[in-house]
Amino acid sequence: MSFSLAIVGRPNVGKSTLFNRLVGRRLALVDDQPGVTRDLREGEAKLIDLRFTVIDTAGLEEATDESLQGRMRKLTERAVDMADVCLFMIDARAGILPADEVFAEILRKRAKHVILAANKAEGHAGEGGFLEAYSLGLGEPMRISAEHGEGMGELYDILRPLADGYDERAQAEAPEVDVELTEEEQELGEEAGVSRDFTAEKPLQICVVGRPNAGKSTLINKLLGEERLLTGPEAGITRDSISVTMNWNNTPVRVFDTAGMRKKAKVQEKLEKLSVADGLRAVKFAEVVVVLLDVSIPFEQQDLRIADLAEREGRAVVIAVNKWDEETDKSNKAKELREEFTRLLPQLRGAQLVTVSAKTGKNLDKLEEAILYAHQVWNRRVPTAKLNTWLSAMTEAHPPPAPGGRRIKLRYMTQVKARPPQFVVMCSHPDELNASYKRYLVNGLRADFDMPGTPIRLFFRSQADKNPFKNKTKSVPSRLRKHLGKGRADEKKKW
């Protein structure tokens, strides 16, 4: 990435629409309702041959107190400070409003470089607002339409020289490094650095999910060590699924913050439906899902649904109980939580349960260890020889059922996939094998091959019958064929 571009402006001027166009995907939620975007969302933008980081920001509000709008403004101002270029967007159809003049003054003082864009300028309706944009004193505005893609060529012409300047500066500031290595260093590098599980391009994908106001954004901010995500006492602040990157002991990690998921019957507004759908999509792309609970009301029915969803999607699951600093009777509460977890979520038996405090940072190191361990188990593979030895011992200890007096034979077993572990057992009459015996085998796999908590997929298939004469009629000998033919001809003459 050569430079970063922050898109700023009043609410509902089309910032998220332009962001989606630059990244080439519908990452940011877009709606006619103003104030949809609240957090800073970063994406890898592509404009012809330019590659840069684009930042979608919340709509600039005039509030400066500790209200929700005031906290959103602080995040936007932070994006202005850290971005190399600011694209100040106005609504050409609405014209210049007093708020635009206030924010233009802020950008003149704080931004390194400002580009003025008049959005929704297609047709004659935006002509007046485009001409008014000259009065802001930010140079010549450009006419764009984020929805229809108009003006992207002009934006490229403005960004091209800026990108060249940042590339030259980065090369000049880069220190010279001697890359020649000794023979010992090369051998160590070949042994230790070839098989890295995670890289900056493909980091460990983690998704934090839970009910509203469980503390998901606060937890991620604590892990990052900075106030990157918008937080507060209000429930339902997060709307988009925001991803942030970090390093855990040299392990690249990408964490997704999701919107709080309420019961389906309570979700009526279109915007909340879009937010929940965005969170569910993040669960599907994650490798490890952290289900965050509130210690004051843990394991509510919605928490169980969310955990079951992660298990059905085949993700590694870690249960984190937040606000542990507010609990007075910690020892009895911890015992109660583990008993409820075992009773209410048997499909995740053995999964890690960690008590944390996103506010104070307590036990976050244990949470990191639990996530890395859950991912390790999720990737586990078992050799076929060990599986078949284990299968023989399991069937001897507890033989399969015999429906109708016919014993089901489990012939052999193999692992066909990891992430999550998936096994196939070749057997006779797989359709007649009951669910209790399947659970018996799955629980045995968890216990004997150290796979606690991870989803296990076990499939039963019938072995193909090798009899070549099955479902075929008897053949007639050739010496009888002519007599049969003569007899049929005589029968036809009679008729």
Annotated binding site: 9-16, 56-60, 119-122, 210-217, 257-261, 322-325
Please state the φ and ψ torsions of residue 184, each to the nearest 5 degrees. -65, -45
Label the pairing between strands 50-56 and 41-47. antiparallel
> Are 315 and 454 spatial neighbours (Cβ–Cβ below 8 Å)?
no
Dihedral sign from CA coordinates of 20, 23, 24, 25:
negative
Please state the φ and ψ torsions of residue 287, each to the nearest 5 degrees. -100, -40
How far is it, in rounded angstroms, from Cα 187 to Cα 423? 38
Structural tokens at position 374? 């859950």
Stated as kind and residue range, the H or E segment containing 291 is strand 288-294
Q: What is the DSSP string of 218-267?
A: HHHHHHHTS--S---SSTT---S-EEEEEEETTEEEEEEE------GGG-
Q: Which residues contact 402 (CB under 8 A, 6 or more apart)?
A: 408
Residues pairing with 254 in the sheet:
205, 245
Binding site for GTP, by residue number, is: 9-16, 56-60, 119-122, 210-217, 257-261, 322-325
